[in-house]
């Protein structure tokens, strides 16, 4: 599991119009992703590996504070291998992303999904992410649709927005 402080990427931000043309998803209003090309690190902080949600909250003390609506604390984990943290007002599931080993989002940063993948883009949530069952289907389809492309060999990531522990900072 990993934690970081990220910038959001949304309608009105520099580059948004060009991104929508590239990705072919005009319905998107905001993107949340582990892909640092789309949700860059605040102050270049990078991601910290942690073992538990408590460790993640402790790590937030050393990461830049999320300021305003354009920044957030992202917790992400391998949805097929790691146990999901309990959800609540301070730990909210955003959805599921898929990425290759370089953490480039195959869902949001590799061009439009076509063929059998195209219908899944109609089920993206408000952050451009998928429900787990759709992400699992996408993982299977990516290996068939993009067999020679490294972006077709993916990990399913569960993305959460988390709040610092009470009284921190």
The whole-angstrom separation of Cα 134 and Cα 150 is: 20
Provide the sign of the torsion angle of the four alpha carbons 121, 11, 157, 94, taken in this order: negative
pLDDT in tens, 50-81: 999 999 999 999 999 999 999 999 999 999 99
pTM: 0.94
Confidence of residue 36 (pLDDT cuts 50, 70, 90): very high
The pLDDT score that the predictor gives to residue 18 is 97
Contacts of 22 (CB under 8 A, 6+ apart): 111
- Residue ranges of domains in the chain: 2-162
State the average pLDDT over residues 91-98: 97
Q: Residue 166 pLDDT more than 80?
A: no
């Amino acid at each position: 599991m990993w934690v970081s402080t990220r910038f959001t990427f949304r309608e009105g931000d520099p580059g948004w119009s060009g991104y929508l043309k590239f990705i072919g998803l005009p319905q998107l209003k905001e993107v949340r992703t582990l892909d640092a090309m789309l949700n860059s690190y605040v102050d270049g902080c990078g991601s910290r590996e942690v073992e538990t949600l408590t460790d993640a909250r402790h790590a937030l003390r050393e990461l830049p504070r999320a300021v305003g609506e354009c920044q957030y604390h992202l917790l992400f984990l391998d949805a097929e291998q790691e146990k999901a943290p309990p959800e609540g007002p301070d730990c909210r599931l955003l959805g599921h992303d898929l990425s290759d080993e370089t953490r480039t989002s195959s869902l949001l940063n590799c061009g439009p999904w076509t063929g059998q993948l195209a219908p899944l883009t109609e089920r993206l949530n408000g952050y451009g992410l998928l429900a787990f069952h759709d992400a699992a289907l996408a993982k299977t389809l990516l290996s068939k649709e993009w067999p020679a492309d490294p972006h077709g060999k993916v990990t399913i990531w569960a993305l959460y927005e988390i709040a610092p522990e009470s009284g921190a900072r």
